[in-house]
């Protein structure tokens, strides 16, 4: 855990400030929940907080309290730059290095901003003026709760903040089932429910929001599933053509990789998703137990993340990317076989 200059930050926030809060590119439930949860809190404290996101986020997050106030850097560029220019400090949530917001936004940030405060749970964070980094914590939303607690302000957590934070903890823990889910997580979740998070409704809004075409895309993904039992590995591919056939929309492939990991005796799962617009294969990795997909993604696929959930990319074709992936597995045979005891 790194807690850097917290007392100085606390003192700095005793005066009302213009604050910008940023989540990572392709924001997920934890990025949206943590940025908006923190925004509501800072607004209650008398600051003016504005959330900026690099690009769009999935439909199933569009109901989160405060979502209509978010500026998208790619679409509302003027407003975003204006907000950055007049900001006193920028909070960076749910990512560990500035490049995770994309080139355009990173350049603008570096041009206008000198004061950064990081709250994040990803590994190997870059150094910022103020930092609260803890890779043991399941979600940035749980860290925002603890941040508010350290500020001595738990009493300010009301229904909207509770709803935002509940959502990100739920999505980043796979509904409270990943290894990172601790008894502290459950205590915080219980408190958030007491403070107004309607847990049944939140689950339903996020997970029962499928379109017919999304389920059909899932069907296609599952029929592309390949299993390599000798490496306890399974992977899924989705081509651009298949995505188009089922009217792919952002977020439609979220969580699909977990179906590969749900196979009995599989400890390593991957999904390869072709993105012709960006000219890349976007990859998600998941593992059970000690096999670190963060290291794997960093070493071979220009990515990173956490020990059991990471992402990366390849600029080669689908076939070449999958071939490379398969060719790497023999090097990890021993690690994979002992990774997880039932």
Tokens of 48: 């003016």
Distance of closest approach, residue 206 Cβ to ligand 5GP, in angstroms: 14
Residue whose Cβ sits closest to Mn ion: 30
Q: Which of Mn ion, ligand 5GP, none lies near 252, with the C-beta cut-off 5 to 8 A by kind?
A: none
- Where are the strands (E) in the chain, listed by range? 2-4, 18-22, 48-53, 71-72, 89-93, 116-120, 130-133, 226-228, 233-238, 268-275, 280-287, 304-305, 309-314
Q: Which residues bind to ligand 5GP, rule: CB under 6 A? A: 24, 122, 284, 303-306, 309-313
Residues that bind Mn ion (CB under 5 A): 30, 94, 140, 172
* Burial classification of residue 242, based on how many CB atoms lie within 10 Å of its CB (0-12 exposed, 13-18 middle, 19 or more buried): middle
Toward ligand 5GP, which CB reaches closer, 13 or 172?
Answer: 172
Q: Which does 253 bind (CB under 5 to 8 A by kind): Mn ion, ligand 5GP, none?
A: none
Query: What's the closest the beta carbon of residue 272 comes to ligand 5GP, in angstroms?
Result: 11
CB 141 within 8 A of CB 169: yes
SS3 of 141, please? helix
Specify the residue, 98 or 309, whose C-beta has the smaller distance to ligand 5GP: 309
> Minimal distance in Å, beta carbon 306 to ligand 5GP?
6
Considering the complex, what minimum distance in angstroms separates the CB of residue 197 from ligand 5GP? 22
CB under 5 to 8 A by kind: which of Mn ion, ligand 5GP, none does 65 bind?
A: none
- Enumerate residues 6+ apart whose C-beta is below 8 A from 120: 92, 93, 94, 95, 96, 132, 133, 140, 143
Length of the chain: 342
Q: In 151-256, where does DSSP find H-type helix?
A: 159-172, 183-194, 199-207, 212-223, 240-245
In the three-class reduction of DSSP (H, G, I as helix; E, B as strand; rest coil), residue 160 is classed as helix
195 or 306, CB closer to ligand 5GP?
A: 306
Residue 179 CB, nearest approach to ligand 5GP (Å): 14
In the complex, least distance from residue 122 CB atom to ligand 5GP, rounded to whole angstroms: 6
Closer residue to ligand 5GP, CB minimum distance, 288 or 306 = 306
Query: What does DSSP assign to residue 127?
Result: P
Of 195 and 313, which has the nearer Cβ to ligand 5GP?
A: 313
Tell me whether residue 243 or residue 306 sits nearer to ligand 5GP (CB atom): 306
336 binds, among ligand 5GP, Mn ion, none (CB under 5 to 8 A by kind): none
- Considering the complex, what minimum distance in angstroms separates the CB of residue 18 from ligand 5GP? 27
Half-sphere exposure of 292 (CA within 13 A, CB side): 12
The CB-side HSE value for 88 (13 A sphere, CA atoms) comes to 11
Q: Closer CB to ligand 5GP, residue 9 or residue 141?
A: 141
């Amino acid at each position: 855990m790194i807690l850097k200059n917290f007392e100085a930050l606390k003192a700095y926030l005793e005066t009302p400030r213009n604050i910008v809060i940023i989540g990572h590119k392709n924001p997920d439930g934890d990025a949206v929940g943590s940025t908006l949860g923190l925004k509501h809190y800072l607004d209650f404290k008398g600051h003016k907080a504005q959330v900026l996101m690099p690009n769009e986020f999935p439909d199933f997050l569009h109901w989160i309290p405060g979502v209509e106030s978010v500026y998208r850097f790619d679409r509302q560029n003027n407003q975003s730059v204006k907000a950055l220019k007049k900001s006193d400090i920028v909070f960076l949530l749910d990512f560990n290095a500035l490049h995770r917001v994309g080139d355009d936004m990173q350049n603008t940030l570096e041009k206008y901003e000198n004061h950064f405060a990081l709250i994040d749970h990803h590994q190997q964070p870059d150094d910022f003026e103020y930092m609260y980094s803890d890779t043991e914590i399941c979600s940035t939303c749980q860290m925002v709760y603890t941040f508010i607690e350290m500020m001595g302000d738990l009493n300010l957590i009301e229904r909207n903040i509770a709803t935002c934070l509940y959502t990100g903890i739920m999505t980043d823990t796979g509904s409270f089932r990943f290894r990172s889910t601790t008894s502290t997580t459950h205590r915080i979740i219980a408190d958030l429910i007491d403070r107004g998070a309607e847990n049944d409704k939140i689950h339903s809004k996020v997970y029962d929001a499928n379109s017919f075409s999304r389920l059909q895309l899932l069907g296609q993904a599952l029929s592309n599933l390949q299993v390599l039992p000798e490496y306890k590995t399974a992977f899924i591919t989705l081509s651009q053509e298949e995505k188009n056939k089922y009217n792919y929309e952002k977020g439609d492939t979220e969580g699909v990789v977990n179906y590969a990991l749900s196979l009995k005796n599989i400890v390593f799962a991957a999904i390869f998703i072709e993105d012709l617009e960006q000219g890349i294969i976007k990859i998600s990795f998941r593992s059970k137990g000690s096999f670190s997909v963060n290291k794997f993604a960093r070493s071979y696929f220009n990515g990173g993340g956490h020990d059991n959930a990471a992402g990366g990319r390849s600029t080669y074709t689908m076939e070449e990317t999958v071939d490379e992936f398969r060719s790497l597995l023999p090097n990890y045979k021993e690690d994979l076989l002992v990774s997880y005891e039932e």
